[in-house]
Amino acid sequence: MVATPMAPVEVVLVEDDAVIRQSVRRALVGCGASVREFATAEDALEHLKPDAVDLLITDLRLPGLDGLSLATAARARGCRCRVILITGSYDIDDEARRGALGPEHIEILHKPFSLSAVTALVTSCHGGDPRDPPT
């Protein structure tokens, strides 16, 4: 598979499954993204600062702080990056919490997924300035 180059993008990737995390990181780096990866939301949170991150890709279900809580905490710290939630299960409670964050900033990627689906979604989310919500 030939990687399609994308505009420079700063990504924080949070996934507790090391195989998934490393595969996604490799695919994104292969497309030109700069990726910082973490196994827990708590470890990632200190790196989610205003204007330092374009995109947060996080598993919804993590040990400790979950992905939506991480996105909420990042917003509270002034980080306006877009968010991709990776999930194998997504329910109405998750949808309500997602709505509270502003659905224009959050995309859902359902497991299982292909690496090409990840890179396509990242490219789509990164159109224009990823910190600006679509109008």
pLDDT tens digits, residue range 26-47? 999 998 899 999 999 999 998 8
Q: Identify the CA nearest to 21 among candidates 34, 10, 12, 30.
A: 12
CA atoms within 13 A on the CB side of 100: 13
Cβ atoms 101, 75 nearer than 8 A: yes
Write down the pTM of the prediction: 0.83
pLDDT digits (tens, 9 = 90+) for 112-126: 999 999 999 888 887
- What is the predicted pLDDT for the residue at 119? 92
Confidence of residue 133 (pLDDT cuts 50, 70, 90): very low
Under a CB-based contact definition with an 8 Å cutoff, are residues 57 and 33 in contact?
no
* Tokens matching residue 74: 């990042």
Report CA dihedral (74, 109, 125, 75) to the nearest 10 degrees. -10
Alpha-carbon dihedral of residues 96, 101, 103, 105, nearest 10 degrees?
-150
Spatial neighbors of 116 by CB under 8 A, at least 6 apart, are: 1, 27
Which position has the higher pLDDT, 113 or 1? 113
**pLDDT recorded at residue 59:** 95
- Output 99 or 12, whichever has higher pLDDT: 12
pLDDT, residue 64, reads 95
As a whole-number percent, the residues of the chain with pLDDT over 70 amount to 77
